[in-house]
Chains A and B, each alone.
Chain A
């Protein structure tokens, strides 16, 4: 066993950190916030592409950097640490692209992959529906064959960045008679297609990232189906396993912890430095422990990927640990800031520019997105421990 990075990997980490220190400055993040686009910047995604780091871990044949999974791990941890906006490429790079490589036809790969690596196209994900959340396979949005097309009708919800996206990768029902997992097909849809309506859903941070998306007889050519007809569920599971293996949460939490530590070292309360308060020390130490634990489990997921394995319950574990950690950190951070904690970004007296408050609110959604913590536990129990189904 060897937990160290090679000299080349360390050097790479320094390059990434230097680049992100410059490109993701406080001013840049504040500017995004003012525009209501905290996690979305086509310009930043473009810069990553120019640097050759956007699709860093994709194989070279698909326009990627061909970097190792370990380099990707280092890269993603830094992206998280810097709170860099990934909304303009996350779906394409982390979910759809890898899925296309596994399940796409040669023509689909040629058509869809290069615009992703060139940062030209933003994708959104049409999975959840009002009555298909955790029970995703019960989705009802239907696609009916008609000549050379399929005609799609139904509603999606929680569609992040649908109002900014160019294309949508979409799950639809193509066989209402089949068992629910076996009647789903996966489509790649242009968002400008006639019949698509996008309506905003405002999250607890007062930001517009989520949407409802309505499909009213939207025509999609048959060749836009990804994978076999009625096999869409299995294609989508590949996508979810890719998405659940992120280390960004660890990077984000590390930065928040560092900021809290610095704050406690220079802030007095009742005449005493917060850093000298035993309860504060132990709360922050507990978070440092959890961050390192989450980091190691994410490393293991990456290690399995680097050996060509597709982690399933391991990725669920990593997702669950990372997102729950950030929720806890948000809570502890707010406790330590005391009455100052709830002061909003930009408010007079707001400590740490209101970032702890934002972490507190932002972390909530992460324990729902791409499978709630409860669904992660189901996967761990059923796939990992092979406990009997009800």
Chain B
């Protein structure tokens, strides 16, 4: 057992925190919430120069060859500072499945461009059925000569409006189980027949509706094997859930820090409100939630990073952190009083994101059902 980070990991955290504090102030976060693209190409370029997009891509594909846990550290800082843009969709949802399941040719084509910041990716999985399991995939792909033709509607697709390529999860066969007959394609987002529209959300995080109408994709863009794509999605969902947990814990820590500073300064009845026991216990409970969440996050991240079976740990982590993050941001708003409820106050940025993040990759009930199965029920 070793529950410490390495010195290099400590340096990565510090460097990421310093960079984001300087380059991504909350003024920029607010500006990008209202921005059509939702990200800053200039900041994106700087992140690429730091090697962030290629952090876990092997060196032979132009990346830094670091570990999943390193990515978790970076995502924690990204969540702490709220970095708007397509980092999550490109790196976690796009590059990881290509790295895991891509052909040599696909890896050579896409990964170096991801690492250099020249490609934005996303995963088109969910549909209007709004579920994360294979039964929710109705979008069809039908073979036609050297290509497949995709028809259907994807919904809640992150950053599809700016993506260069989407990994589209399709149904290619009606199998005995919902998992059978799923096939993935790396689809050029500019292909004729794709219509994309940003749907405004609580976190203004650029979720899109993407309609595929007779979209032609060459067979060579198939990711993984025909009809056997679900395990790739399942693995990506596990990685995505843990990665989302990292962002959430970073955000919860920021909300806690902001609240603790505030209650030390805010004076009522002639003393800082942080000297009242009721506020102290709110803050203690917030911290317990952040701290326990972080411990469970690292356990899940370690398992996923090691490639070990992690279904239970991931569901435990997401199930816990969903509730922890909502609790912490809600108490954070409460400790700020009325000012915390305004659109202008930063605590609200975290409160809104906590709800969006809870629902991504499975809400608490979804995770509890997974855990129930894992404990033998």
Contact = CB atoms under 8 A, between A and B. Distances in A.
Interface of A: 1-6, 9, 70, 257, 261, 264-265, 275, 281-282, 284-286, 288-290, 292-294, 296-297, 299-300, 303, 317, 320-321, 374, 376-378, 380-382, 384-385, 387-390
A282 B371 CA distance: 8
A70 B1 CA distance: 8
Given A292-B316, A390-B276, A282 B372 contact: yes
A50 B193 CA distance: 77
B284 interface: yes
A3 B3 contact: yes
A1 B291 contact: no
Contacts of B279: 387
Interface residues of B, number: 48
A384 B2 CA distance: 23
A187 to B, nearest CB: 32
A284 B377 contact: yes
27 contacts: A1-B5, A1-B69, A3-B3, A3-B298, A3-B299, A261-B376, A282-B368, A284-B372, A284-B375, A285-B368, A285-B375, A288-B316, A289-B367, A289-B368, A293-B320, A296-B292, A297-B295, A300-B3, A317-B288, A317-B291, A380-B287, A381-B284, A387-B260, A387-B264, A387-B279, A387-B283, A388-B275
A176 B321 CA distance: 49
What's the dominant secondary structure at chain A's contact region?
Answer: helix
Given A265-B376, A387-B263, A387-B274, A289 B371 contact: yes
A384 B377 contact: no
Q: Which of B5, B69, B315, B316 has the most CB of A within 10 A?
A: B316
A289 B320 contact: yes
B292 A1 contact: no
Contacts of B370: 285
Contact of A388 (B274, B299, B365): B274
Most buried by A among B260, B272, B319: B319
Contacts of B303: 3
Interface in B279-304: 279-281, 283-285, 287-288, 291-293, 295-296, 298-299, 302-303
A3 B377 contact: no
Contacts of B285: 377
B375 A377 contact: no
B372 A388 contact: no
A322 to B, nearest CB: 11
Contacts of B292: 293-294, 296-297, 317, 321
Most buried by A among B3, B260, B285, B320: B3
Nearest to A69: B1
A282 B365 contact: yes
A285 B302 contact: no
A374 to B, nearest CB: 7
Given A1-B5, A387-B275, A377 B377 contact: no
Interface in B19-69: 69
Interface string B342-371: 000000000000000000000001011111
Given A288-B371, A296-B298, A390-B275, 18 more contacts: A1-B3, A1-B4, A2-B1, A3-B299, A257-B375, A284-B375, A284-B377, A285-B375, A288-B316, A288-B374, A288-B375, A296-B296, A297-B292, A299-B3, A303-B4, A381-B284, A385-B284, A387-B274
B268 interface: no
Listed residue (A294, A317, A387, A390) with the most chain B CB atoms within 10 angstroms of its CB: A387
Contact of B288 (A275, A289, A303, A320): A320
A325 B284 CA distance: 17
Contacts of A303: 1, 3-4
Interface in B183-238: none
B274 to A, nearest CB: 4
Given A281-B368, A281-B369, A281-B372, A389 B295 contact: no
B260 A299 contact: no
B334 to A, nearest CB: 16
B75 to A, nearest CB: 15
Contacts of A385: 260, 280, 283-284, 287
A377 to B, nearest CB: 4
B122 to A, nearest CB: 29
A284 B316 CA distance: 12
B119 to A, nearest CB: 30
B377 A261 contact: yes
B200 to A, nearest CB: 32
A377 B280 contact: yes
Contacts of A265: 376-377
Given A293-B295, A387-B283, A378 B277 contact: yes
